[in-house]
Amino acid sequence: MLDACERGDCGWGDGPGGGTFGIAEALRCAQNLARHRRFSVLPVRADKRPACASGFKAAAKDAGAIAELWRRYPAPLVGIATGEASDLAALDVDLKHPEAVRWWRKKESRLPETRAYRTRGGGVHLHFRHAPGVRCATGRPVPGVDVRGEGGYIIHWFSAGYESLDHAPRADWPAWLSAEIWPPRPSAPPIRPGTAAASEAGIAAIVAKVAGASEGNRNSILFWAAKRLAEKRIHAREIESMLLPAALSAGLAELEARRTVASAVRR
């Protein structure tokens, strides 16, 4: 049986995309989602940022704990912690990006029927059951396609009055989608220690670690990588040119990544 939010009793305003936000209503929907869907929920501000400093780590399932969260951090949107916490992985397709539109048209028929919602920006959130190894990714495999898995959160736009596109039960996360978003790296032949190739391989491994960093530890890994390269007597500009593309592919903002690299090199 569908809970109040899933039945549509939690939407308000003038219909899809036309609702106004209400803090009390958001709390009620959050408690319903936790009780009926076993989701871990958290308050999110209208700008889509968590209202509490600890972000998705503050998410709760207990009705009393959720009420306390909204008392301390009143906010109009309901966030759901993704990954194992809620057995939820989400695919976010932003249809404002032409690359995302082309990808969607090509892959839509391969995606299983699953729960889907319209987002405030006019895109689509597809909800799946979580699978091991599914983590957060931005702009993969193309700009405008994001994944929220372990270590992240999404906004439950339906509870803010936006349209439900498909009421089907959550399907399993597609294995082919993981392979496309996180393609396996080709194995390299053995390298003899002490050779120039070994040094290049070491640098490549450091860069790859930055590119594969997950949300929550991307900055710390980038800082570590920049320090390691600086220890190899590589010029600061070369370090930035090596690490910046990897940091951007991991989802860091360009200005933030440049500042992190500069700070590590100065130290």
**70-108 confidence digits (pLDDT tens):** 999 999 999 999 999 999 999 999 999 999 999 999 999
Query: Could you tell me how far CA 267 lies from the centroid of its own chain?
Result: 31
Which segments within 101-215 are labelled E, that is strand?
115-118, 124-129, 145-148, 153-155, 164-166, 171-172
Q: Are residues 14 and 103 in the same domain?
A: yes
| Separation of CA 165 from chain center | 21
Q: Is the pTM of this model over 0.85?
A: no
Which range marks the domain in which residue 207 is found? 196-266
Structural domain contains residue 186? no
Q: Do 139 and 221 lie in a common domain?
A: no
Q: How far is CA 79 from the centre of its chain?
A: 12
Instruction: Please name which of 129, 94, 105 lies closest in space to residue 115, comparing C-alpha atoms.
Output: 129
Residue 172 exposure: Cα atoms within 13 Å on the Cβ side = 5
Looking at the structure, tell me whether residues 52 and 167 fall in a common domain.
yes
pLDDT of amino acid 238: 86
Digit-coded pLDDT (tens) for 5-60: 444 334 333 333 444 468 999 999 999 999 999 999 999 999 999 999 999 999 99
Is the CB of residue 159 less than 8 Å from the CB of residue 27? no
| The predicted structure's pLDDT at residue 186 | 56
In order, the DSSP letters of 14-40 are SSTT-----HHHHHHHHHHHHHHH---
What percentage of the chain carries pLDDT values higher than 90? 63
| Dist. CA 21–CA 33, nearest whole Å | 17
Q: What's the whole-number mean pLDDT along residues 169-173?
A: 97
Residue 8 resides in a domain: yes
How far apart (Å, rounded) are the C-alpha atoms in residues 126 and 177? 13
Instruction: Please give the pLDDT value at position 190.
Output: 55
How far apart are alpha carbons 10 and 241 in whole angstroms?
48
| Residue 189 is assigned to a structural domain of this protein | no
Q: What is the pLDDT of residues 112-136, one digit of tens each?
A: 999 999 999 999 999 999 999 999 9
Phi first, then psi: give them for residue 90, nearest 5 degrees: -125, 140
Domain boundary among 181, 212, 244: 181
3-state SS assignment for residue 167: coil
